[in-house]
Amino acid sequence: MATDLQIAARKISSVNPATGEVLRELECASETKVQAAVARASAAQPAWDGMGVRRRIAVLRQFQRTLLEKKSEIAEAITREAGKPAAEALTTEVLVALDAARFLIDNAWRLLRDEPLPHGNLATKLKSGRLVREPYGVVAIISPWNYPFSIPATQTLAALVAGNAVVLKPSEFTSLVALQLQSLLHAAGAPRDIFQVIVGDGTTGAALIHSRIDKLVFTGSVATGKRIAVAAGERLLPVVLELGGKDPMLVLDDADVDVASSAAIWGSFVNAGQACLSVERCYVHRSLYEAFLRACVEKTRKLRVGNGLDHETDVGPMIYERQLQIVEAHVEDAVARGARLLAGGSRLPELGKNFYKPTVLADVTHEMRITREKHSARCFR
């Protein structure tokens, strides 16, 4: 009990990464509160499933309408807590959630309905069969800070329309965005116990993983994903893991240099490079290498770094200083091992502690950390 009280007393702060302003202080959910939330979700789920898919689609349709009406407000809230430019928050977060809602509204009934199942065996020719899709029960979602609205929204909508209850534990860095999602879904008609947000840090997430959930969806780092896989394996808990990578871009000899370089810049620096699908390495055919490199350097130097609420901003801050320190360490390691620094490579303290210049490195090797580890500047070879 002492440990539980200790957890309940812990606080997390939602901070604007551009300004350092504390947006709100929130209390971490204790293990007892997590278990209670899951229990409420489990008790409410059968009635939600019993409503039928068409009525659940109606909830999604109302969510879609409300989100469309409040799209600018939600995008601004994302920018304040996650730092990304407002236009980017709108296109890569709000519009993605709207598109997911549209897809489910149009297709959920077809995808979830029973299907006749023919028998191929002569002994069962007089038998009939059908394929029935049933909900898991309570789906736990642990979502990341880099896409704090679109990732949990798309996962939640799919789980809800299939008849599941959802308990969402957002990143401690972007809890307010998740609470906005909760408000939108409750206003659209999702019962309060059917969709719950529990706020907290890693300890809260661990409590959720070990609670009586029926499925887990996790988006985050490989290291944490491995630990979750072990915990899930011990109880044969169904689990979905969407983990980080070190994504390469290949530029072949028939590429249009202008188009390919623009794609590389967008793919590298969208969300300040903090995306699981961002371009982190470029492998360029030798016949295009120099022209491609020049184009990338020129376009990188034109990027405007600043507060995401400024409509002139192309690249916002990193989410917090530790992420910036990782990038800084990777760049320093690469330069020390012989890479050429062609753009960026330093902080922008005049803007705030979480700002770093968009950076291009050339002549990198696979011995350098920047080609092997996540969260780095862009590198070319």
What contacts 6, CB < 8 A, 6 or more positions away? none
What are 198's two structure tokens? 């529990």
CB-based contact 279:249 (threshold 8 Å): yes
The H-or-E segment that residue 150 falls in is helix 150-161
Give ∠ CA 62-68-71 in degrees, rounded to 5.
135
Amino acid, single-letter form, for residue 89: A
What are the φ/ψ torsions at residue 99 (nearest 5 degrees)?
Answer: -65, -40
d(CA 110, CA 91) in angstroms, rounded, equals 28
Which of the following is catalytic: 31, 88, 93, 276?
276
**Burial level of 371, CB count in 10 A (0-12/13-18/19+)?**
buried
d(CA 157, CA 258) in angstroms, rounded, equals 38
CB-based contact 23:16 (threshold 8 Å): yes
d(CA 222, CA 217) in angstroms, rounded, equals 14
Return the biggest CA–CA distance within the chain. 79
Which of the following is catalytic: 27, 76, 242, 321?
242
d(CA 255, CA 27) in angstroms, rounded, equals 52
What are 150's two structure tokens? 């679109």
Our answer to whether residue 242 is catalytic in this structure is: yes
CB count, 10 Å around CB of 142?
A: 24
The residue count for the chain: 381
- The secondary structure of residue 353, as a DSSP letter, is T
Q: DSSP E strands: which ranges in the chain?
A: 11-15, 22-27, 115-116, 130-131, 138-142, 165-169, 195-197, 215-220, 239-243, 248-251, 281-284, 340-343, 360-362, 378-380
Our answer to whether residue 234 is catalytic in this structure is: no
Count H helices, E strands: the chain?
A: 13, 14
d(CA 111, CA 11) in angstroms, rounded, equals 42
Q: Which residues are catalytic?
A: 242, 276
